[in-house]
Homo-oligomer: A and B are copies of this chain.
Amino acid sequence: MFYLRTCILFLFLFLFPFCVFAEDGSQLWLRFPNVKNGISTDKIISKGKNPTLDIAKKELTTYWQGQAVELRTEKSLKNLKDGYTIISGLDKIIISSAKETGLLYGVYHILRLQQTQSDLTHLNITEKPSYDVRILNHWDNLDGSIERGYAGHSLWKWEDLPGTISPRYEAYARANASIGINAVVLNNVNASPNMLKNEYLIKVKALADIFRPYGIKVYLSVNFSSPKVIGGLENSDPLNKKVQEWWKQKTNEIYKIIPDFGGFLVKANSEGQPGPQDYGRTHADGANMMADVLKPHGGIVMWRAFVYSASPEDRAKQAYLEFLPLDGKFRDNVIIQIKNGPIDFQPREPFNPLFGALKKTSEMVEFQITQEYLGFSNHLVFLGPLFKETLDSDTYAYGKGSTVSKVTDGTLRPAKLTAISAVANIGDETNWTGNHFAQANWYAFGRLAWNHQLGSDQIAGEWIKMTFTDDKNFVNPVKEMMLSSRETAVDYMMPLGLHHIFAFDHHYGPEPWGNIPGGRPDWMPVYYHKADENGLGFNRTQTGSNAVAQYFPPLNETYGNIETCPENLILWFHHVPWKYTMKDGKSLWDELCYTYDKGVKNVREYQKTWDRMEPYVDAERFHHVQSRLKIQSKDAVWWKDACLLYFQTYSKMPIPYDIERPVHELEDLKKIKLDMKHHN
């Protein structure tokens, strides 16, 4: 097995230089100068031998063209965790870290500086990661499909593992290491119990072995019913000793196979998944049972707060209501994984009110990189600004300045462990993410997980220069396009706080009229927009669901008062009359119309921007992106027409006549039923 893997790896590395010119996006942002060699081995000063150091050195000898590099392992830098320092002069760069992984990160740092044409001779850098665990969640199933995956099938070839090792496993690890990602959940949160079978654990080990030198730990999503389903037990009740014993044995088995195994991610009692409540137990009972067996091995439990049921209670309130009473009841190696917003990865949501509300429980953010609600891999939507919007949101949990980042990164309440996660957008397509620009979202998450103080502007700039070119004629317009793209998507999909008016199930395209008779109300668009003849929007104030009360003062007041509520969330918190006067003097209806129209216009501007870039980019990627922008442009019109024509049946007001008119018939749009699955 080892021999075969080495062979394939060798073949891959041997062929790699020849692949450089196939501009298919397979290189991601790791497009280092096209040279035969970097510096010679004798210009690398490094003590000791270690697989991670070996990778660092190989990167330098292959790509680094600057001065000599010293890689120093410095135990004194322990408080930087896997961070590092970089100090440089004309002749030498010194990278220091307490850990080898830190040294590898430092090497990627200077390679990035080289690639982005930065000055390399006066460096004095100290980097400490914002979060300890920077983790990608793969929603990959054992059958090779990916839930909400839009870039082909799963990267993990379970059938071939452990015998056959795809060269992409290492390429994947390298890409993650280059941006500081150090953890990966391999499988879907809607987890198959089979994942924990020994035959799969051996396959997981193969991946863990490849990832380890790149500083990456492997985690698994687990099905709460595993003891019953694959263990043959009578139930999976967390207070059942046999169940506890089963988990203990299983965990021991895992650690025997993968000594540095990271831990479990659990989706329990949500959307049909089993969980402790099936046995009258709490989420704490369930999480703690697992935490106890992981604890001796240093493992953790990431327990998802994304729980809601078809109750009459506003879905946006349910996670808070469920978890707040459990605050303080979780073990210290349990961390509650909370989606950025209270509903579900919408184009725009307010931050989840659980952030800061759990005072005695570790919390981590869960973002979604894969664009389930943002046009799949067809739409160009740079998520940096979305991530930042949540991280910078002030919860006021500990007074002004209690941003989501500060309540999760250990600043405001020292945490045993800090973490941040995101659902990956990676599949087995050559360009990894379906759309070349979707690579930027993987990149942005990694960079922000490392340092949440980075600006979207800087991240986009780095990524463009690394991925395409540093020609400012390209960088500036493309960056401008990327930075505005998320707001544009909000504009043409669901502006002003509208949410979840997507087509049923697959979530591609508009379906504001969605209301399946007998279906779960909280899965229906009409539940979320509440359009009627009076107005539009979900009343979450005191006169409505009172979800505003879950926010700390003064946010409960700010959001709860229609006059002070930010207009980009006004329909999230208020049922607003059609003729309500917005801050710019327009009626709500007119504002809605102009905003949808702005979205369409902006996408058309992106097309113009991109077409002008043709001289600066290879034909292959140029045409690929051009083609996706065409789809986005058509989709934007589809969204605009569907939403305006539908809401117009309630507003009874004309679309302002200076706006480009709909080209669709509402009745035709209602007939569209795309044959899309959750996954490719």
| B661–A612 touching, CB < 8 Å | no
Query: In the assembly, what is the distance between CA of A297 and CA of B315, in Å?
Result: 87
Which residues from B are CB-within-8-Å of A660? 604, 607-608
Closest B residue to A636 by beta carbon equals B663
- Please state the number of chain copies in the assembly: 2
Chain A, 621-680, CB within 8 A of any chain B CB? 627, 629-630, 633-634, 654-655, 657-658, 660-665
Closest B residue to A657 by beta carbon equals B612
Query: In the assembly, what is the distance between CA of A377 and CA of B654, in Å?
Result: 26
Query: In the assembly, what is the distance between CA of A661 and CA of B634, in Å?
Result: 11
| A657–B608 touching, CB < 8 Å | yes
| A611–B657 touching, CB < 8 Å | yes
Query: In the assembly, what is the distance between CA of A315 and CA of B148, in Å?
Result: 57
Instruction: Return the contact of A611 from the options B612, B633, B654, B663 (Cβ within 8 A).
Output: B654
Which residues from B are CB-within-8-Å of A620? none
Which residues from B are CB-within-8-Å of A633? 661, 663
Judged by a CB distance under 8 angstroms, whether A614 is at the interface is: yes
Which residues from B are CB-within-8-Å of A627? 665
Which residues from B are CB-within-8-Å of A634? 663
A-B residue pairs, 6 tightest by C-beta:
A607-B661, A630-B663, A633-B663, A634-B663, A612-B657, A611-B661
| B608–A662 touching, CB < 8 Å | no
Most buried by B among A604, A612, A657: A657
- Count A interface residues, CB 8 Å: 21
Most buried by B among A611, A614, A629: A611
Using A604-B660, A612-B657, A629-B661 as known contacts, list a sample of 7 further A-B pairs with CB atoms less than 8 Å apart, ordered by residue number in A.
Answer: A604-B661, A607-B660, A608-B660, A611-B654, A611-B655, A630-B662, A630-B664
Query: In the assembly, what is the distance between CA of A448 and CA of B309, in Å?
Result: 71
| B614–A661 touching, CB < 8 Å | no
Query: In the assembly, what is the distance between CA of A607 and CA of B655, in Å?
Result: 12
| A658–B608 touching, CB < 8 Å | yes
Query: In the assembly, what is the distance between CA of A661 and CA of B600, in Å?
Result: 13
| B604–A665 touching, CB < 8 Å | no
Residue interface bits A597-618, CB-to-B below 8 A is 1, else 0: 0000000100110011010000
Most buried by B among A612, A630, A663: A663
Query: In the assembly, what is the distance between CA of A657 and CA of B608, in Å?
Result: 6
Which residues from B are CB-within-8-Å of A608? 657-658, 660-661
Which residues from B are CB-within-8-Å of A657? 608, 611-612
Query: In the assembly, what is the distance between CA of A657 and CA of B473, in Å?
Result: 15
Chain B nearest CB: distance from A614 CB in Å? Answer: 7
Which residues from B are CB-within-8-Å of A611? 654-655, 657, 661
A selection of 25 A-B contacts at a CB cut-off of 8 Å is A604-B660, A604-B661, A607-B660, A607-B661, A607-B663, A608-B657, A608-B658, A608-B660, A608-B661, A611-B654, A611-B655, A611-B657, A611-B661, A612-B657, A614-B654, A627-B665, A629-B661, A630-B661, A630-B662, A630-B663, A630-B664, A630-B665, A633-B661, A633-B663, A634-B663
Query: In the assembly, what is the distance between CA of A495 and CA of B75, in Å?
Result: 75
Chain B nearest CB: distance from A259 CB in Å? Answer: 51
Which residues from B are CB-within-8-Å of A665? 627, 630
Closest B residue to A626 by beta carbon equals B661
Query: In the assembly, what is the distance between CA of A512 and CA of B654, in Å?
Result: 38
Which residues from B are CB-within-8-Å of A630? 661-665
Query: In the assembly, what is the distance between CA of A608 and CA of B663, in Å?
Result: 11
Which residues from B are CB-within-8-Å of A661? 604, 607-608, 611, 629-630, 633
